């Protein structure tokens, strides 16, 4: 019995996707204000974050960091675009597609506004405000 040689390039088939993920993580760090700002947010040394982004040994990129980076980066318009790109990339790895929400119609916006007023102002103040608005 002979064993056939297995072609091995040294790279895992998902490494290409992994490269894209780390490229997008680097853009998330930039959207958070840079390496030092992101490291402060994550409560790690900048060198630890830098090594994790470059996938160096003994410096894994922790999953809980992604949530914090997405939250911080999502506060700016440019960062929100990077967040959307990152999430779309991760969804595509699972065979999913991110779809934009359809815009609300004027009636739906008005209903949402009324509900928000009732929820946040209390029933008495909300009723008075809505009564005044419709007079």
Dihedral sign for Cα 29, 46, 23, 89, please.
negative
Q: 79 and 72 in contact (C-beta within 8 Å)?
A: yes
Each residue's pLDDT tens digit, 42-76:
999 999 999 999 888 778 888 899 999 999 998 98
Please enumerate in sequence order all residues whose Cβ is within 8 A of that of 26, keeping only pairs 6 or more positions apart, or say none. 53
CA distance 125 to 104: 26
Residue 85 has pLDDT above 90, yes or no: yes
Query: CA 79 to CA 75: how far, in whole Å?
Result: 7
* Summary count for the chain: helices (H), strands (E): 7, 0
Mean pLDDT in residue range 90-107: 88
CA distance 117 to 53: 45
pLDDT at 48: 92
**Percentage of the chain exceeding pLDDT 70:** 88
Among the residue ranges 19-23, 41-45, 87-91, 124-128, the one predicted with the least confidence is 124-128
The count of other CB atoms within 10 Å of the CB of residue 126 is 17
pLDDT greater than 80 at residue 14: no
12: pLDDT strictly greater than 80: no
Task: Please state the rounded mean pLDDT for residues 115-121.
Answer: 83
8 pLDDT exceeds 60?
no
């Amino acid at each position: 019995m002979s064993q056939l040689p297995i072609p091995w390039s040294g790279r895992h088939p998902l490494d290409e996707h992994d490269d894209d993920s780390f490229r997008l993580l680097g853009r998330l760090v930039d959207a958070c204000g840079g390496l030092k700002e992101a490291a402060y947010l994550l409560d790690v040394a900048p060198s630890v974050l830098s090594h994790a982004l470059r996938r160096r040994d003994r410096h894994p990129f922790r999953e809980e960091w992604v949530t914090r980076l997405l939250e911080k980066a999502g506060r700016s318009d440019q960062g929100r675009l990077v967040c959307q790109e990152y999430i779309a990339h991760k969804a595509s790895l699972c065979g999913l597609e991110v779809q934009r929400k359809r815009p609300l119609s004027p009636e739906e916006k008005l209903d949402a506004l009324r509900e928000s007023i009732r929820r946040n102002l209390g029933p008495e103040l909300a009723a008075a405000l809505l009564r005044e608005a419709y007079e």
